[in-house]
Amino acid sequence: MYGLCDCNNFYASCERVFDPSLEGRPVIVLSNNDGCVIARSNEAKRLGIAMGQPYYQLRELMRQHEIAVFSANFVLYGDMSRRVMNLLRQFVPAIEVYSIDEAFLDFTGMNAELFDELGHRMARTIRQRTGIPVSIGIAPTKTLAKIASKLCKRYPKLAGCCLLNRPEDIEKVLNRFPIDEVWGIGRQWQRLLETHGIRTAQDFVRLPESWIRQKMHVVGLRTWRELQGEACIGFEQMPTTKKQIATTRTFDREVEDYEELHRRVAQYTGACAEKLRRQRSVCGEIRVFILANRHNENRPQSYESRLVKLSVPTDDTLELTALAARMLRSIYRKGYGYKRAGIVLSDLRPKEGQQCDLFDMADRTKHARLMEAVDALNMTYGRHKIRTAAEGPEPFKMNRNHLSRRYTTDWNQIIKVKA
């Protein structure tokens, strides 16, 4: 049996933990530079606020309904996530962290008669010790556990846990569950299925296996079997290494100056290289892109991108920054107001066992020692203490006009209680 623990409206819930006056009030959390909505409380959802909706479109609605607005406080959210995950580990043999607010649970070897009681106890404990409400779904497969977790969110009477293990209950749920909400069914497959009259998960299950194989191949067949109670998606306790690492940002204003754009791209490259070394990988490809402000119809529009394959895969910040600068110079166009830029590292592979290039002139051993020293100093004294000159004297700061305090990670920002 598998479980899925999903934190309800996680970012908004984190803000409510430290400000009880927000209970019952619409809450939204904004993206970098306070650009658009990335999290909503249930009250905000009922007002019709959509995910990704630009912040400037909500000004009138905010005045009418006293909506609480917060800039994304990822330091706080990350720490609250670790607290929830550590509590989950106390109840089950293993967990698989799926995202910042979701984790799969492994119930192998546990008494099946106690699953419902255990799930409710987990939900109560997490709420009591962290303040975060969660929805726990328990079922024979990961896909069914996802569905059970969603049912738990929709029906408050389930009190935080939904056990979906009896065949008759599974069939009843699948008969009403929309196909587009099934884990693993993307937009492309949704359109395909709907053209064939498939509206619910049960409609999908009734399809012949041969049709699934022909139209949706192995991945679709795996989802089809999972909905029938056959576990096909394995459990991974250790986080898998990323296949791609990216750092992209929307600016607080339009940027025309090449030097400023260069500094921003250099900062993003340094951040990507640091993540790359953290997972002991090297990259074989690097992409740089810049995007003009598509919302400004009075300015010329432009999206420029360049991809370069490396002859020798690397994790060296100096090498990647110099390469990114040359790529940026080749795609930059004077007179454009750029609003977004980013770095994407791909073709990632383990650092150990790399094949050398006979014509490689770089001293890889020396550069590796330098990067180790830089990472160690930044780990000890704080991020960005040691950085390349191309990044400039100070990191660019985002517009975060509604940022809450770092209640759990900064001694100077913890809550003060007056007795």
pLDDT band at 400 (very low <50, low <70, confident <90, very high): confident
| pLDDT score for 164 | 93
- The whole-chain average pLDDT of the chain stands at 91
Burial of 128 from C-beta contacts in 10 A (0-12 / 13-18 / 19+): exposed
The answer to whether the CB of 69 falls within 8 A of the CB of 30 is: yes
Reported as a pLDDT band with limits 50, 70 and 90, residue 358 is low
Helix (H, G, I), strand (E, B) or coil at 157: helix
Please report the pLDDT score of residue 250 as a whole number: 85
**Tens of pLDDT, residues 257-282:** 999 999 999 999 999 999 999 999 99
Virtual torsion, Cα 35, 154, 92, 170, nearest 10 deg: -130
Pairing of strands 134-139, 161-163: parallel
Confidence at residue 68, expressed as pLDDT on a 0 to 100 scale: 94
Reduced to 3 states (helix: H, G, I; strand: E, B; else coil), residue 283 is strand
Spatial distance between the Cα atoms of 98 and 108, rounded to a whole number of angstroms: 18
The string of pLDDT tens digits covering residues 81-118 is 999 999 999 999 999 999 999 999 999 889 989 999 99
Rounded Cα distance between 197 and 210, Å, is: 17
- Which H helix or E strand runs over 134? strand 134-139
Q: What is the rounded CA–CA span in Å between residue 13 and residue 17?
A: 6
- pLDDT-based confidence at 247, cuts 50/70/90? very high
**Structure tokens belonging to residue 74:** 């990822």
DSSP string, 125-161: HHHHHH---EEEEEESSHHHHHHHHHHHHH-GGGTTE
Percent of the chain predicted with pLDDT > 70: 97
Q: Report pLDDT digits (tens) over 136-171.
A: 999 999 999 999 999 999 998 999 999 999 999 999
What the block records as the tokens of 17 is: 């933990």
CA 220 to chain centre: 23
CB 283 within 8 A of CB 348: yes
Q: Can you give the pLDDT at residue 297?
A: 75
pLDDT tens digits for 8-63? 999 999 999 999 899 999 999 998 888 889 999 999 999 999 999 988 889 889 88
- Is residue 130 scored above 70 in pLDDT? yes
Residues 87 and 303: their CA atoms lie apart, in Å, by: 45
Tokens of 386: 């040691």
Distances, alpha carbon 24 to alpha carbons 63, 128, 131, 242, in Å: 17, 18, 15, 38
